[in-house]
Structure 1
Amino acid sequence: MKIYEKIREYSKSKGETMKEIADAYGVTPQSIQLYFSGKNAMPLNFLVWYIEKHPELDLYALFNKNQPSIVSEPKSAYNKKSKKQDVIDRIVEILEKEL
């Protein structure tokens, strides 16, 4: 499963609409539809933003082609929210390991 497919399926399971996501991110619903269909590449900025909004997502599972579920086990309530640079650093680390 590709990254955009995992994000799309997760979003569906949460009941999010493309309009809601687009409004929150600041783009048109058509842009989100293009990301979720794979017709346009999902920008790294969008991916980082989406992961910040959904801290339960497991980055390793997101980038692992053989891992269908992208939700990690629930985190402890005392964990702080990831910062954008932390998320980017983790993505780079995973990509370097996998590629």
Structure 2
Amino acid sequence: MKISEKIKEFFEEKGWSHTEIGAKYGVSQQTITNYLNEKRAIPLDFLVWMKEVFPDVDINSIISKQENHIVSESKAMYKRKESREEILKEFGKILDNYL
């Protein structure tokens, strides 16, 4: 499953519209639609924002081609909110494994 498909499914399950996502992230509904329909690349900052807003999101699952969901259910209840710096470090470690 593609990253955009995972993110789209995640927000659909949460009941968030593209307008609501855009308003909370600080961009237009059209920008979110473009991200999720692969007309624009999803910026790393958007993924960091998702992790800040939804601490249960598993960064590795977003990037992994083997994973179809982006929330690790077993960790979701116990996950503490991470700082932006911690999230970026986690992204760096994961990307090092993929590059």
**Deviation digits for residues 12-44 of structure 1 (CA, Å, limit 9, x no counterpart):** 111101111111111110000001111100111
Check conservation: 2:50, 2:57, Cα contact below 8 A. Answer: no
Identify the residue that residue 91 of structure 1 maps to in structure 2: 91
Identify the residue that residue 35 of structure 1 maps to in structure 2: 35
Identify the residue that residue 59 of structure 2 maps to in structure 1: 59
Count of aligned pairs between the two proteins: 97
Alignment of 1:3-22 (within 5 A): 3-22=3-22
Q: Which runs of 5 or more residues in structure 1 are unaligned?
A: none
RMSD between aligned residues: 1.2
Give, in angstroms, the shift of residue 3 of structure 1: 1.2
TM-score, normalization: structure 2? 0.90
In 1, Cα distance between the equivalents of 2:98 and 2:35? 23
Identity %: 37
Give, in angstroms, the shift of residue 75 of structure 1: 3.5
**Deviation digits for residues 58-91 of structure 1 (CA, Å, limit 9, x no counterpart):** 1111111111121112242xx5311111111111
TM-score, normalization: structure 1? 0.90
In 2, Cα distance between the equivalents of 1:44 and 1:32? 14
Check conservation: 2:5, 2:36, Cα contact below 8 A. Answer: yes
Q: What residue identity is the alignment partner of 2:33? A: Q
Q: What residue identity is the alignment partner of 1:6? A: K
Q: What residue identity is the alignment partner of 2:47? A: L
